[in-house]
Amino acid sequence: MKSSIMSLAVSRHHRIAAYGVSGLILCVILAILPVAGVAAPRVAAFLPLFAMAVFITEGLTAYLLWTQFMITRGAFLAALAGAYAYTSVAVAIQLMVFPGVFSPGGLLGAGPQSAVWIWAFWHGGSPILILVALYVRRRFPNPLPRARLRLAGLALMGGPACLSLLVCMLAIRGAAALPQLVDAQSYQRLQHSPPGISVAVLSAVALLYLVITTRLRTLLELWLGVALFAGLGDVLVTLVANSRYSVGWYVARLESVLASSTVLGVLIWEISHLYRELHAANARLAEHASRDGLTSIFNRRYFEERYPLALGQANAAQRALSILMVDIDHFKRFNDTFGHLHGDECLVAVAGALQAGLRRSGDFVARFGGEEFVVVLPDCDREMATRLADMLHTAVARLEVAAPCNEVGGVNVCVSVSIGAATSTPAEPIPAAELLAHADAALYRAKEAGRNRVTAWHTAPLARTDDAPASPASVHAH
């Protein structure tokens, strides 16, 4: 499952960050334990804010893990999403039944033991479900079949959410049948009770099992370990705190927020990472799609998209733009004589010479088709375009690629090009198709005049009659 949080390897920087957060959690726990039972002011808004923070972060984590499961079909992700959905439901119900939040005794007919039992089911059930998720990962290492995807996903995620509802209802409706864990505001009973000890043991076992079986090799495993460590700290500090609204009780709630938000932060980072990769891949794909497969210069599609935009920008800025049409002379004869492989080599060599002759960032050359190339020169007037065309013509001649006839009249013959140039000036802006037609007409005249030359298009003198057509001029034979 590539491009998934399940497969992102842990780097040295990731481990340093994770160990740093874990070290900070440990330092806070050790610093708080001696004063955990000290009474603190009761802040009425703290518990709702804490519960909403945990509910939102756990719910978002469950949702993002579910979306990853639907993409990768990894059963482990669905099971882990179920563990977070379990906690999200539990914390929402605990907030409703907590004494003094919405009513003195809590909503839903809750008793004085309901909130603490929901806490025990929450903190005991979550590590159990993470152990279940790790078992599911070992049992189903491969992507699930698409036919069973939704059914398995609903079972792995919906099952824990329903279980959370059931145990919360048990804590509310069956509180009288459950052992007493709290006296008024005191957690003294919880600290030494089997449920309290079991919750601590389960949290420690889940953390150790994760570390031993996975070695924290992936990003998800690493930060899930940090979340479990923070959850263990939450349990230990709560047990030592002994009472609600003590220093330890407040710190334990903050540890719980950290435990719930750790994996969410990693998921958000991973989504950003994948988005960056997708953007880079799209950029590479767009670059590949705009390049000619043989010569690696831009292709005709790129030219047809970029050229009208460049001309429009030049016209809007009242700047000149020139275009050169380049054709390899007698290329069909070259192919017929030397074969298409050598013909391809010739095309690559000529394209490279044209590309190397462009110095400005806005200029570009594209393969127009067959042995024809087109060069777009923004902010380039007629005189400058003609000079550059001469330079490109000379650059191709310097390749000294042998033409089919090695000698004509005792002179060595090399591959040459004919170039037609046309310019759109600020005083005479013209449509893109018309400017291209002018360059093509200039190229035709260059070939008609004997090839191996540069011909620049310009309009006829003012004295011409209205019927006199515009014509190519400035012929440079080589």
Distance, in Å, from the CA atom of 438 to the CA atom of 325, rounded to the nearest integer, reads 10
User: Are 272 and 312 within one domain?
Assistant: no
CB 234 within 8 A of CB 259: yes
What pLDDT band is residue 427 in, cutting at 50, 70 and 90?
confident
* Token couple for 436: 């291209």
| pLDDT confidence of residue 25 | 94
**Mean pLDDT for the stretch of residues 290-319:** 94
User: Are 316 and 377 within one domain?
Assistant: yes
pLDDT digits (tens, 9 = 90+) for 268-290: 887 887 788 888 888 888 888 89
Where a domain ends, among 240, 257, 286? 286
Distance, in Å, from the CA atom of 137 to the CA atom of 131, rounded to the nearest integer, reads 10
| pLDDT confidence of residue 192 | 82
What pLDDT band is residue 190 in, cutting at 50, 70 and 90?
confident
Where a domain ends, among 257, 286, 315? 286
Q: For the ranges 159-163, 308-312, 339-343, 471-475, which has the lowest average pLDDT?
A: 471-475
| pLDDT confidence of residue 459 | 54
What pLDDT band is residue 6 in, cutting at 50, 70 and 90?
low
Distance, in Å, from the CA atom of 406 to the CA atom of 333, rounded to the nearest integer, reads 13
* Token couple for 119: 């806490």
Tell me if residue 371 is catalytic.
yes
Question: How many other C-beta atoms are found inside a 10 Å radius of the C-beta of residue 52?
Answer: 13
CB 171 within 8 A of CB 121: yes
pLDDT digits (tens, 9 = 90+) for 227-241: 999 999 999 999 898
What pLDDT band is residue 184 in, cutting at 50, 70 and 90?
low
Distance, in Å, from the CA atom of 346 to the CA atom of 136, rounded to the nearest integer, reads 60
**Mean pLDDT for the stretch of residues 354-367:** 94
Cα angle 382, 383, 389; round to 5 = 85
* Token couple for 339: 């074969």
On the question of pLDDT at 187 being above 80, the answer is no
Distance, in Å, from the CA atom of 365 to the CA atom of 373, rounded to the nearest integer, reads 7
Range of the domain at 170: 12-286
| pLDDT confidence of residue 405 | 64
User: Are 309 and 281 within one domain?
Assistant: no
With respect to residue 447, please indicate whether it lies within any of the assigned structural domains: yes
What pLDDT band is residue 474 in, cutting at 50, 70 and 90?
low
**Mean pLDDT for the stretch of residues 400-406:** 79
92 CB contacts (<8 Å, ≥6 apart)? Answer: 51, 55
User: Are 385 and 458 within one domain?
Assistant: yes
On the question of pLDDT at 92 being above 60, the answer is yes
Q: List the catalytic residue out of 371, 372, 428, 434.
A: 371
